Structure 1
Amino acid sequence: MLTADDLAARLRKSRERAGLTQEEVARHLGLPRSAVALMEGGKRKVSGLELVRLAYLYGLSPDDFFAPEFAMDGVSVLLRALPETVDQEGTREAIRNGIALAREIANLEHLLGVERATAIFPQFPASPIRGRWEALEQGKRLAHQERQRLELGSAPVDDLGDIMENQGITVLEMELPDYLSGFTVRLNGNVVCGVNISHVTTRQRFSLAHEYCHALADRDRPGIISRQDEKDELREVRANAFAAAFLMPEDGIRDYLSRLNKGLPSRPREAVVHPEGEVQFVEGRLGPETSKIGLWHVCLLAGHFRVSRLAMIWRLFNLRLVTERERDNLLTAEQDGSARMLSRALGIDGEPQIDGEVRGEDAVCVGTGRSFVPAKLRLARRRLLHLALEALREEAISRRKFEEVLRLGGLDPDELEPTLEKIGALTENSVPESED
């Protein structure tokens, strides 16, 4: 049985894991620092409301404080690994809000008896990475295996977020500091991947594929943060190689180029078999410029696979479809704006939103006053609403709990109520005054 001293020790350990001081916790609770010190010393009783607020602050569920095994989870790793955000309360609040949403999704799934796809999530036992080349090869091999498992063929990936959600991964689209592209954490067996929506759309897709690799291959890590200054870490090298191969499969690129009569050998050779069994070889000769890949081909390929032109240039170089000199010329065209102008002329949507600001119905503002961080929780919010409606219909949660869940996802219960009543989602038993 958990004693008061045990709970006090867990409160202290949780605060330390989250990288917070007693003063910071006290400020969030509206209490003096001495009150927090007494809680952690087992000399002050902690109310249920205070436990709920402390759990949210530490990225936990209130039940975690009383669990038989009190182990460090991914959120603790995440918050502790971001000491530079101590003064960026908007960022930490956005992370807490997103994690709380992910936990609520898992809670609703448990109430409804929904079996997560992650229960049968593929395990790709990756060998220890002994160097950069091995990291690259592992990433490419893993991407090929996963595309085969998902039966994607060599076609472009349409909605990667949807694919990951269907695999049981909760995807959080959040505004994070520019030096963070995303993160992957594990919460009681559930996998949560976050991606930075302040980056351009094509980079977000690449970052999401990068995190997908961490979810597949780095099961020994409770939490991983993808930083720009750690891109040379072998796990990061593997994840980047995976993302490139997963989003831009070699067969798909070669097939697309062949339809443009590009990427072919300068002297193509075909065998013609006659009915009598005789085989005749026919050889052609293409001009030196016929098979050369130009800037417009890069623009078309990038648009087709929905990746950045820069990523496509390097992918073509790594596949040896362009020479080093051709690569440098293409990179110069990207830097001087020529590629952007050509993309526009070709009618390719290559200029997504770059200010990172989210407006309208997709904006979830957390924090107080002017210190807020928008979180475009499109995928997670969709799943949250679906599960909440199902739980309400099955009377697994009360009307009051339903409204709390909606607010957690940035939805206004009063605004949705007329529509929900019209479609019969709010039953007679779903009264707002009911208790869980």
Structure 2
Amino acid sequence: MKTLKREDLIKLVGERIKRARKISRLSLRALAKEVGLSPTAISKYERGLIAPNSQVIIKISRACGLNPDFFLKPPKKIKFSPIEYRAHRSLPKKEKEALFERVRAWLENYLEIEDLLGESIEYEPFGREVATYEEVERAAEELRNRWGLGLAPIASLVTLLEDKGIKVGLFEMPEKCSAFAFWANGNPVIAANRVFPGDRLRFSLAHELGHLVLRIKDKHLEEEKACFRFAGAFLIPQAVAARELKASMGLSELVFLKLKYGLSVQALIYRARELGIINERRFRGLYQMLRAKGWHKREPGPEYPREEPLRFKRLVCRALEEGFISPLRAKELLDLPSVEDLPCR
């Protein structure tokens, strides 16, 4: 690694302290109180005017819940596309900054391990201009065909996305924030809320996939609604929905279909309505039944298993097993409490 000049190192540490503070959602005053320093001192560290000693770095790392190495690692150059929180625009600025910095730190580690092993998956570009919901349906069908999915249920959407070159990360997010997609160094990335149940997570991922591939060419077609339609069409194509969803179906039947296709009962009801399989009256009746039983908050039957991204973890394990990194570095990359928690030794 290239040796940094003292002034560059001081600047790097300052930038890292500011990022760490944002990750932990601490104000200057709050961080200063945690480490027993003045807000002015913290501000000078962040601006690169003075250098903190090792004890100060350790105190700041503990206050922010980060490893001390975070403050000395040169940043990976990443060119981000504008990140739109869309339905989550009301998210406070401090929450957005903290979330972005957590995603950024994860992505830096991901790209670092890919570079180290010389292994990356090139995303094959796919984009479609759409002006109607019918065109959205066709776009979802075309992508499924491009990826060789046919009409079968998607066993693991996370694995599929990773295999196609889309990086997927799960993070703790506010309840109102489901997921967002963006481009980093020209590659697609989806960050999603890790606390969501499996079916809701799958729909959020498919929705964000819609944002990556759809190009809205008619101002009367709302992007959010188009991506919701894309998600439903991608997870249960129109031909399959016409076969599986019936006007007379009850909630118990929908629970079985939920487990088969990985969509919530609510999403299946909406899918049936948008395809004209059930009318508005039947839709309202089913939805009112859900609410009356409290199933709009927690659906009946077993939960659909939550999928986990595995590629980054697998690359870290390979780097460890092949001697590229130490167990300590592997622990840091995977953000684990101790080396004993490593899934590989």
Separation in 1 of the partners of 2:47 and 2:212?
A: 38
Indicate how the Cα distance of structure 1 residues 243 and 113 shifts in structure 2: closer, same or farther if over 3 A, else same: same
1:174 touches 1:197 (CA, 8 Å); kept in 2?
Answer: yes
Task: Establish whether residue 63 from structure 1 lines up as the match of residue 74 from structure 2.
Answer: yes
Cα distance, 1:74 vs structure 2:
6.1
1:71-86 equivalence runs, <5 A: 84=92, 86=94
Indicate how the Cα distance of structure 1 residues 233 and 415 shifts in structure 2: closer, same or farther if over 3 A, else same: same
Separation in 2 of the partners of 1:20 and 1:71?
A: 26
Partner deviation per Cα, 1:52-89 (whole Å, 9 max, x = no partner) = 969x79x9994338x5xx866668989x9676274x7x
1:136 touches 1:237 (CA, 8 Å); kept in 2?
Answer: no
Task: Establish whether residue 209 from structure 1 lines up as the match of residue 209 from structure 2.
Answer: no
Task: Select the residue among 101, 104, 107 that pairs with 2:106.
Answer: 101
1:156 touches 1:248 (CA, 8 Å); kept in 2?
Answer: yes
Partner deviation per Cα, 1:371-396 (whole Å, 9 max, x = no partner) = xxxxx9x734x333321232133332
Aligned to 2:232: 244
Indicate how the Cα distance of structure 1 residues 177 and 400 shifts in structure 2: closer, same or farther if over 3 A, else same: closer
Cα distance, 1:293 vs structure 2:
2.5
Partner deviation per Cα, 1:15-43 (whole Å, 9 max, x = no partner) = 69989754356467764321233245553
* SS of equivalent to 2:178: strand
Aligned to 1:124: 127
2:206 touches 2:234 (CA, 8 Å); kept in 1?
Answer: yes
Aligned to 2:167: 170
Indicate how the Cα distance of structure 1 residues 17 and 82 shifts in structure 2: closer, same or farther if over 3 A, else same: farther
Give, as a single letter, the amino acid of the residue that structure 2 aligns with 1:63: P
Aligned to 1:413: 339
Give, as a single letter, the amino acid of the residue that structure 2 aligns with 1:293: S
Q: TM-score, normalised by structure 2?
A: 0.72
Indicate how the Cα distance of structure 1 residues 186 and 17 shifts in structure 2: closer, same or farther if over 3 A, else same: farther
1:4-23 equivalence runs, <5 A: 4=7, 7=11, 11=15, 22-23=28-29
Give, as a single letter, the amino acid of the residue that structure 1 aligns with 2:92: E
Separation in 2 of the partners of 1:350 and 1:321?
A: 26
Indicate how the Cα distance of structure 1 residues 298 and 379 shifts in structure 2: closer, same or farther if over 3 A, else same: closer
Indicate how the Cα distance of structure 1 residues 2 and 213 shifts in structure 2: closer, same or farther if over 3 A, else same: farther
Aligned residue pairs: how many?
A: 324
Q: Which residues of structure 1 form unaligned runs of 5+? A: 128-133, 219-231, 263-291, 354-375, 421-436
Indicate how the Cα distance of structure 1 residues 108 and 212 shifts in structure 2: closer, same or farther if over 3 A, else same: same
Separation in 1 of the partners of 2:80 and 2:342?
A: 38
Task: Establish whether residue 37 from structure 1 lines up as the match of residue 43 from structure 2.
Answer: yes
2:331 touches 2:342 (CA, 8 Å); kept in 1?
Answer: no
Task: Select the residue among 238, 243, 264 that pairs with 1:255.
Answer: 243
* SS of equivalent to 1:110: helix
1:184 touches 1:211 (CA, 8 Å); kept in 2?
Answer: yes
Give, as a single letter, the amino acid of the residue that structure 2 aligns with 1:316: A
Separation in 2 of the partners of 1:414 and 1:405?
A: 14
Give, as a single letter, the amino acid of the residue that structure 1 aligns with 2:44: L
2:84 touches 2:180 (CA, 8 Å); kept in 1?
Answer: no
Indicate how the Cα distance of structure 1 residues 17 and 216 shifts in structure 2: closer, same or farther if over 3 A, else same: farther
Separation in 2 of the partners of 1:238 and 1:188?
A: 26
Say which is worse superposed, 143-152 or 303-312, in terms of deviation.
303-312
2:258 touches 2:304 (CA, 8 Å); kept in 1?
Answer: no
Partner deviation per Cα, 1:160-204 (whole Å, 9 max, x = no partner) = 111112122232333322211122243434443222243333222
1:299-338 equivalence runs, <5 A: 299-337=255-293
2:85 touches 2:180 (CA, 8 Å); kept in 1?
Answer: no
Indicate how the Cα distance of structure 1 residues 140 and 21 shifts in structure 2: closer, same or farther if over 3 A, else same: farther
Task: Establish whether residue 379 from structure 1 lines up as the match of residue 308 from structure 2.
Answer: yes
Task: Select the residue among 140, 148, 151 that pairs with 1:154.
Answer: 151
Aligned to 1:180: 177
Partner deviation per Cα, 1:194-242 (whole Å, 9 max, x = no partner) = 2224333322221121122233348xxxxxxxxxxxxx99332222111
Aligned to 1:293: 248
Say which is worse superposed, 183-192 or 173-182, in terms of deviation.
183-192
Indicate how the Cα distance of structure 1 residues 3 and 81 shifts in structure 2: closer, same or farther if over 3 A, else same: farther
Give, as a single letter, the amino acid of the residue that structure 1 aligns with 2:178: S
Give, as a single letter, the amino acid of the residue that structure 2 aligns with 1:255: R
Indicate how the Cα distance of structure 1 residues 402 and 178 shifts in structure 2: closer, same or farther if over 3 A, else same: closer
Cα distance, 1:316 vs structure 2:
1.3
Q: Which residues of structure 2 form unaligned runs of 5+? A: none
Give, as a single letter, the amino acid of the residue that structure 1 aligns with 2:308: L
Aligned to 2:322: 394
Separation in 2 of the partners of 1:7 and 1:37?
A: 12
Separation in 2 of the partners of 1:143 and 1:155?
A: 14
* SS of equivalent to 1:194: strand
Q: TM-score, normalised by structure 1?
A: 0.59
Calculate the aligned-residue CA RMSD, in Å: 4.7
Partner deviation per Cα, 1:222-270 (whole Å, 9 max, x = no partner) = xxxxxxxxxx99332222111111112111122336xxxx6xxxxxxxx
* SS of equivalent to 1:186: strand
Indicate how the Cα distance of structure 1 residues 76 and 103 shifts in structure 2: closer, same or farther if over 3 A, else same: farther
Give, as a single letter, the amino acid of the residue that structure 2 aligns with 1:243: A
